[in-house]
Amino acid sequence: MALIGTIRKRSGLLIFLIGLSIVGFLVMDMTNSQGSVLKGRKDSVGKVNGEKIAYTDFNKKYEDNLKNAEDQMRSQGQSIGDDQRNYIRTQTWTEMVNELIFKNVYENLGINVTNEEMSELATGQNVSPSIANVPIFKSQQTGQFDPANVRLYLTQLDRDDEGEEPGSKRKRWNAFEKQLKQGQYQQKYNNLITKGLYVPTWMAEMTYNDQSRLVDFKYVLLPFVDVKDADVKISDDDIKTYVGAHAAKYKVEDETRKFSFVAFDIAPSSGDSARTIQSLEEKRAEFAKGEKASDDSLFVKLYSETPFDEVYYDKDKLTSPVKDSFFTQPVKSIVGPYIDGKFVKLAKISDRKMISDSVRVREIAFSFAGMKQDDPSVAAKFKLIDSIQKAVDSLHADFGALAAQFSDDPMGKMKAGDIGWVKQGEKETYYNNVIFYRAVKGKTYRTFSGNDRINLIQVIEDKPSKAAVQISYLTKEIIPSPETERAIYGNATTFASENQAEAKFREAGKKLNAKTIESIKKDEFQVQGLGSSRELIKWVFNGKKGDVSSIFTVDKKHVVALVEQVRAAGLPDVDAVREQVKPEVLREKKFELLSKKVTDAKANNVDELASKLGKPAIDATHISFASPALGVGYEPKVVGAAFATAKGKLSVPVKGNEGVYVVQTVAVQEPAKQTDYSVYSFQMNQQLQGKARYASEVQKKLAKVVDDRFDFF
């Protein structure tokens, strides 16, 4: 009671402290949260020419694109992974940026796509290939595009297929139509550019003259190799000056980072392998009891980490390291356990027999193309299939006569269902496995082709020629135990804590085979050698030079990273380009040294210069701009100097690819005059047409794009 009384007396102070704590919590949240009041919540993922791309709009478009991709992958029996999601997010950004860039371009140029044009592209005489090539828009009789099928499809846009979300069909069409319209805009823009290109006669004549004019000259070459690299001193200022003088070549558009990392593989130990082998040994006796392939199939289904494969393989098709044993041991023998990749395996020889490379097959095909599941004709067709199969197998009806009467395959009708010899792998997997591994000659089997065809098939002839085995694999992956994982994580933790200094990280990293990523952009998702590593990349760009990370877990690896260099957009720092630029600066320095030798020689002609420098005077005859090759290699600058130097005069030193040249022009042969330069006009116009496709890229470079995706993803 005394305690309660004390609390009551000091209740005011208690309320004040609680209130202060709440305020402190809110302030801390506001200063740390991405959506804080103090920092200001970003509501856009970027801007294009000042126009925002709202996060909500971007995310909605991304979700739509993702769903379309997922639907497509699902129809192929596949699923979307992180890499594909990242790719779709990047594609969504590119799509929205291009939309905003070219919206203004098209408006300013007066480019438009009308409803009448869209109708013509869908159902008119000039139908778009992307519509004409869609199978459901083709005639079943002729296989040619039928605009009536498009019109029918458009009337059913609001009738979604079973299992689809309401509005899915219309949403897909709208997205397709938008893409088609954008393509039309782009084509008109490209046409506007290309149709505006023109090569005047004087330009064609100049090109003809440049290509046909010939020059004879003599030259002296002082090779760069005459100056040893060690005799040339290169400073950081030299590199910086060179980069500044060649800014267009070295300027970078995006900020990049260089970083190193040490990876600790989360891999099983020898003890983990031994435990996995022992666990399979414990199943050996039970596995051996199975007498039929169906027993082995069930056992594999219950206990194996890989599925049962009913295929019979000859020795050439097997990749198992113990495959020789499959052809020498008795059927029902168990081989192993053995390690194959990341698995331990027990392999049971379920069966062995002679198989054919090809079999002769006949079939009756039943097509369900274009039919709805609730269509009464579907049920009727299934009854027909059942009755035909029963008539053939039980009543010994004439298979060929039934094929000629009921098959939906025109060729099958003509040949009484005989489709000839079928080789291994020519048909779908299920069809292939039936005719090569399960079928008994003369018996009827039901198979499927795609999603809209059922076949009744018979093998009527085969040619068994080689031995093959059916193997049941009891497999278990070798995975690291919790103890192993803890030990690996402990090693990574120790490394990270003991090597926080940049120099220590470098030294310790050498012993652990540290990898270096020379350049990575902030919007990338992949790290070479690690795979999808978005969180690691974000850390690298949030860090500063010399920072060492805590542990990132990436694709079965614990990773510790060091930020090596921060390279801002614009002209790079000397450290970032030293090794790249050094050879060029070396050539510049050597050019200066060798040019001074030429100047100091004070020669009046090429022969005198050659004599003073101890080099030969080399003749070059009938050289043109079109083919500026000398005996020592490709030297366009040297040939250009020969054309530009007056006859008999000595040129200034020329920096070529192989060294420093001095030329003396002997003669210039002018080309014969032409009256028709149309061939050259055509060639130049073709070259311009090819370059015109880069007009869109120029528009993108001119646009002011601000990319803030890094703050969200």
Tokens coding 73: 């992958």
CATH fold for the domain made of 256-267+482-570: Chitinase A; domain 3 (3.10.50)
The residue with tokens 């990574």 is 492
Contact status, residue 221 vs residue 659, Cβ threshold 8 Å: yes
25 pLDDT more than 50: no
Q: Report the alpha-carbon distance of residue 244 to residue 246 in Å, rounded.
A: 5
C-alpha separations of 433 from 313, 430, 628 in Å: 11, 5, 63
Least confident of 225-229, 249-253, 532-536, 582-586: 249-253
- pLDDT tens, 184-234? 988 888 888 888 888 899 999 998 988 899 999 999 999 999 999 999 999
Neighbours of 165 (CB within 10 A): 10
Q: Report the alpha-carbon distance of residue 314 to residue 231 in Å, rounded.
A: 67
pLDDT for the residue 266: 94
- pLDDT tens, 471-483? 999 999 999 999 9
pLDDT for the residue 702: 85
pLDDT for the residue 41: 53
Q: Report the alpha-carbon distance of residue 407 to residue 400 in Å, rounded.
A: 10
Q: Report the alpha-carbon distance of residue 34 to residue 486 in Å, rounded.
A: 33
52: β partners: 47
Q: Report the alpha-carbon distance of residue 447 to residue 449 in Å, rounded.
A: 7
Q: Report the alpha-carbon distance of residue 450 to residue 614 in Å, rounded.
A: 80
Q: Report the alpha-carbon distance of residue 279 to residue 304 in Å, rounded.
A: 12
Class for the domain spanning 273-477: alpha beta
Alpha-carbon 52 to chain mean position:
29
Average pLDDT over residues 634-639: 94
Q: Report the alpha-carbon distance of residue 254 to residue 286 in Å, rounded.
A: 62
Degrees to nearest 5, angle at CA 36 with 33 and 42: 100
Q: Report the alpha-carbon distance of residue 433 to residue 324 in Å, rounded.
A: 24
- pLDDT tens, 277-295? 999 999 999 999 998 888 9
65 pLDDT more than 50: yes
Here the contacts of 519-524 (C-beta below 8 Å, separation 24 or greater) are 519/256, 519/257, 519/258, 519/567, 520/256, 520/257, 520/258, 520/259, 521/254, 521/255, 521/256, 522/254, 522/255, 522/257, 522/710, 523/90, 523/707, 523/709, 523/710
77 pLDDT more than 80: no
pLDDT for the residue 305: 92
Instruction: Check residues 21 and 52 and name the one with the higher pLDDT.
Output: 52
For residue 412, name the pLDDT band (cuts at 50, 70, 90): confident
Instruction: Check residues 576 and 557 and name the one with the higher pLDDT.
Output: 557
Contacts of 645 (CB under 8 A, 6+ apart): 217, 651, 663, 664, 665
Mean pLDDT of the chain: 86
pLDDT for the residue 599: 94
Average pLDDT over residues 396-409: 88
**Axis crossing angle, helix 168-195 with helix 55-75, rounded to the nearest 10:** 110
Contacts of 66 (CB under 8 A, 6+ apart): 80, 85, 88
Here the contacts of 181-184 (C-beta below 8 Å, separation 24 or greater) are 181/113, 181/118, 182/99, 183/128, 183/130, 184/113, 184/117, 184/118, 184/121
Degrees to nearest 5, angle at CA 302 with 299 and 307: 80
- Among residues 541, 535, 536, the alpha carbon closest in space to that of 521 is found at 541
- pLDDT tens, 458-473? 888 888 888 989 999 9
pLDDT for the residue 632: 85
For residue 625, name the pLDDT band (cuts at 50, 70, 90): confident
pLDDT for the residue 3: 36
pLDDT for the residue 454: 87
Q: Report the alpha-carbon distance of residue 536 to residue 522 in Å, rounded.
A: 11
Sheet holding 654-655, edge to edge: 618-623, 214-223, 659-669, 654-655
pLDDT for the residue 198: 86
19 pLDDT more than 70: no
Q: Report the alpha-carbon distance of residue 193 to residue 691 in Å, rounded.
A: 10
For residue 179, name the pLDDT band (cuts at 50, 70, 90): confident
pLDDT for the residue 650: 95
pLDDT for the residue 660: 96
CATH fold for the domain made of 214-251+576-669: Chitinase A; domain 3 (3.10.50)
33 pLDDT more than 80: no
- Among residues 330, 442, 431, the alpha carbon closest in space to that of 397 is found at 442
Tokens coding 203: 């330009």
21 pLDDT more than 60: no
Alpha-carbon 678 to chain mean position:
43
pLDDT for the residue 27: 40
Average pLDDT over residues 611-630: 93
Contact status, residue 327 vs residue 469, Cβ threshold 8 Å: yes
**Axis crossing angle, helix 82-109 with helix 695-702, rounded to the nearest 10:** 90
Contact status, residue 158 vs residue 169, Cβ threshold 8 Å: yes
42 pLDDT more than 80: no
Contact status, residue 338 vs residue 321, Cβ threshold 8 Å: yes
pLDDT for the residue 700: 85
Average pLDDT over residues 256-282: 94
697 pLDDT more than 90: no
| First vs last C-alpha separation in the chain | 57
Helix ranges (H only) for 124-167 are 129-132, 147-155
457: β partners: 363, 445
Contacts of 272 (CB under 8 A, 6+ apart): 478, 479, 480, 481, 484
Neighbours of 132 (CB within 10 A): 16
373 pLDDT more than 80: no
Here the contacts of 691-694 (C-beta below 8 Å, separation 24 or greater) are 692/190, 692/193, 692/194, 692/197, 693/190
For residue 374, name the pLDDT band (cuts at 50, 70, 90): low
C-alpha separations of 248 from 26, 251, 413, 542, 566 in Å: 49, 6, 69, 28, 20
Average pLDDT over residues 134-163: 83
The residue with tokens 């088609």 is 180
Cα dihedral 444, 448, 454, 457, rounded to 10, equals -20
Instruction: Check residues 693 and 634 and name the one with the higher pLDDT.
Output: 634
Average pLDDT over residues 172-188: 87
- pLDDT tens, 417-438? 888 898 888 888 888 888 888 8
552: β partners: 559
